[in-house]
Amino acid sequence: MSNSHIDIPRLMIAALRGGSGKTVISIGLIAAISQQHKTVAPFKKGPDYIDAGWLAMAAGRPCYNLDHFLAEPIDVCRSFLRHTASAKADIAVIEGNRGLFDGLDVDGTTSTASLGKLLQSPVILCLDCTKSTRTMAAVVLGCLNFDPSVNIQAVILNRVAGNRHESILRTSIERHCGVKVIGSVPKLDQEDFPERHMGLIPTPEHALVAHSIKTAAETVNRYVDLKAVLTIADEAAPLTTACSEKEYEARIVPVGSKHPKIGIIKDSAFQFYYPDNLEALQAAGADLVYVSPMFDNGLPDIDALYIGGGFPETHAPQLAQNLALRESLKSAADNGLPIYAECGGLMYLGETLVLDTQYPMTGVLPIVFGFSKKPQGHGYTMVTVDGENPYYPVGTHLRGHEFHYSHVLEWKGKARDMVFAVQKGRGVVNKRDGICYKNVLATYTHVHSLGTPQWAEALVRVAQRMG
């Protein structure tokens, strides 16, 4: 297969660690570039929902996740090409995750740096300069020499204390590293970007989203050389890829001729959905119907239901109070409605969520959840399907991600009710995951349709049989 050369202005925002402020910088850059009447295609490296939501709001279009653990590198590259093309983007902005070289192994095979190399993207390094000056030059020099094939083009200083602090940082980095400093951002007001146990407050819950994004754009316009940023993106070398245009079109095709209605539980309580997953359901032939578990009086006329992750713990009183929806969902599950649930959706299908008091959930599954101050599952997962279920053949290997503070207080089911054997990750209990009841499958593992295309096809196929 001959290589294609595709000219896409692009850049990646990276940092030395999580919590360095790169998300706010990325939000500001995307919003500021958009203000120049340029179309920005936003991307987030890794299995992230919250940051991706903010980037999407800043760009005014969906933000897609690029993760070469969840999907094969060639499929990640195809996704990048497909979504930049469909947006008719003037520029693609990719926000990295964690530290630039942090990955699952000593080779950094799933790191931001490796994604940068895959997409041949120039990198702008966002440095948290809190209580540090000349040492940051040594850090940047270390990054440059650690892997010279990573194309670090510039540095943005973040959380700078004042003019003197900036001067020492700027001079030290440019003199010793030969890398240009293109921005110096002071510490921002925390009220503009409030955080919670999983990071930034998700956009559906933050009443001042537009104000926060406007503030981030103003900050970038004031403290970052935006012209230099755009020049770096414009001068990115043409992306060399083994994909042709036809090959990077979506691979999922309609399953049969029926168009089943698949309900999506979605409001501020349940908001963790990859855009790729919803689009995959539509590509497989589904019509999506959105349902609010806090405000709707019952399930609409649907053929299947998808419940993603979210924050049932912060909305427990409202979820518990909506008895009509809870009873409607329980009855539908008992009558065989296909339901696929992930993480927060799994919690909602349980009997009770115990926080400061006990909050009844839908009672579909015989399980009681509590909540911890520290993460109980955090990172990539690998599971093997070893039990019969409506969605995956026995023997299927799945790669996914889990991130939750909830834990199981009481499991009243049987071992055979769980159909996933966990090789990596925590799962529900005893290295088991994937609770199956009739046509319900609920799991802590989030899957991404780019790496698990059979997920959408299976859900649509089961829904068609119900329609």
Do residues 348 and 270 lie in contact, with contact meaning Cβ atoms separated by under 8 Å?
yes
Other CB atoms within 10 Å distance of the CB of residue 297: 10
d(CA 425, CA 335) in angstroms, rounded, equals: 32
β-strand 339-342 against 304-307: which pairing, if any?
A: parallel
CA angle 340, 265, 315 (to 5 degrees): 115
CA angle 78, 392, 279 (to 5 degrees): 40
Q: Exactly one of 77, 129, 343, 436 is catalytic; which is it?
A: 343
d(CA 408, CA 463) in angstroms, rounded, equals: 30
d(CA 23, CA 33) in angstroms, rounded, equals: 15
d(CA 7, CA 399) in angstroms, rounded, equals: 32
436 as an active site residue: the answer is no
In the block, residue with structure tokens 């003197």: 164
In the block, residue with structure tokens 């931001």: 112
227: exposed, middle or buried (Cβ count in 10 Å: 0-12, 13-18, 19+):
exposed
Max Cα-Cα span within the chain: 70
22: exposed, middle or buried (Cβ count in 10 Å: 0-12, 13-18, 19+):
buried
d(CA 159, CA 147) in angstroms, rounded, equals: 26
Whole-Å CA distances, 235 to 16, 21, 22, 100: 24, 25, 22, 21
Do residues 379 and 428 lie in contact, with contact meaning Cβ atoms separated by under 8 Å?
no
d(CA 308, CA 102) in angstroms, rounded, equals: 27
- Closest to 404 measured CA to CA, from 272, 284, 307: 272
Do residues 29 and 93 lie in contact, with contact meaning Cβ atoms separated by under 8 Å?
yes
Residues annotated as catalytic (active site), given as ranges: 343
